[in-house]
Amino acid sequence: MKKIYSIICFLFILYLPVNAQSVDQIISKYVKARGGYQKLFSVHSQRLTGTILFSPNEAGPFSITMERPFKMREEMIIQGKKIIRVLNGNSGWIVNPFSGKNETQALPVSIVENMRGASDIDGPLVDYQTKGNIVRLIGKDTVNGKIAYKLRVIQGKNIISYIYIDRASGLEVKWEGEIGDKGKKHMMQSIFSNYRKVDGVMYACKIVSSTPGTNAQQIIIIKKVEVNPKLNEKIFSKPELEEKPTPKKINSTKQK
């Protein structure tokens, strides 16, 4: 019995490096497909602009600006109203006129943690061990009719997500994870396509996000990618409310 137990333990230990090697091989192909370590690490900031669509009749301009480390600003205009979300390190704020509150609000800790993960310009797979991320190969799945490797990623304070890497191209084609606050979390997924190379780095220029089991969906179409643009650091500060122009008074006094 003891001998059998020892054999099982040996096989288990033997399996670990094989699995780890498979993960590293997949990530190596992914990094190469995106442009390579040198090109990726040369990106210190980036700005992506385009359009966000929630429905054919509900769309508007969208932009996301990022800078190392952990700085991000998102802006979108829907129905003529601007929504702003800002992350700066461990702090985050939102201006949302649809919330019914005419003020800048601090973001919940859970949202800030999710944004910190999203603000990683390289993504959680690049140099994952140095970042303290844990990556495991779950198996294979099909995304848009093509085989993809499914990786389980654990970041920061036990933030778990799943990244799908296309077996043929080596590019990320799908993401799954939990998003939410105040104890109300829900699964979301994003499909990445229409990759375009800018300054030697591949960017997904179409992102379709949805909540499984619902009709909720958003589509982001990236029309312009700027690599290492000159940024004003003030954009990563707590956003101020835009002052509405005061209407001019009309002098109704009749001239005699």
Domain coverage including residue 158: 2-236
Lowest-confidence region among 161-170, 172-181, 243-252: 243-252
Query: For residue 230, is it within any domain?
Result: yes
For residue 170, the model assigns a pLDDT of 97
Lowest-confidence region among 22-26, 141-145, 178-182, 227-231: 178-182
pLDDT mean across residues, the chain? 87
Q: What is the pTM of this model?
A: 0.84
Query: For residue 243, is it within any domain?
Result: no
pLDDT surpassing 70 at residue 255? no
For residue 48, the model assigns a pLDDT of 98
Query: For residue 84, is it within any domain?
Result: yes
CB 188 within 8 A of CB 210: yes
- String of b and e for 95-119 (b: at least 16 CB within 10 Å)? bebeeeeeeeeebeebbbbbbbbbb
Query: For residue 241, is it within any domain?
Result: no
pLDDT surpassing 90 at residue 21? no
Tell me which of 55 and 59 has the higher pLDDT.
Answer: 59
The CATH number for 168's domain is: 2.50.20.10
Burial degree of 211 (CB within 10 A; 0-12, 13-18, 19+): middle
Query: For residue 98, is it within any domain?
Result: yes
State the total domains in the chain.
1
C-alpha 131/C-alpha 151 separation (Å) is 16
Mean pLDDT of the region 156-176: 94
Query: For residue 136, is it within any domain?
Result: yes
Q: Are strands 146-155 and 172-181 parallel, antiparallel or unpaired?
A: unpaired
Query: For residue 247, is it within any domain?
Result: no
**What are 63-111's pLDDT values in tens digits?**
999 999 999 999 999 999 999 999 999 999 999 999 888 899 999 988 8
Tell me which of 144 and 55 has the higher pLDDT.
Answer: 144
**What are 208-232's pLDDT values in tens digits?**
999 888 888 999 999 999 999 999 9
* φ, ψ at 209 (rounded to 5°): -110, 145
For residue 233, the model assigns a pLDDT of 96
Query: For residue 225, is it within any domain?
Result: yes
Whats the size of the chain, residue-wise? 256
**Residue 111: closest CA among 159, 55, 171:** 159
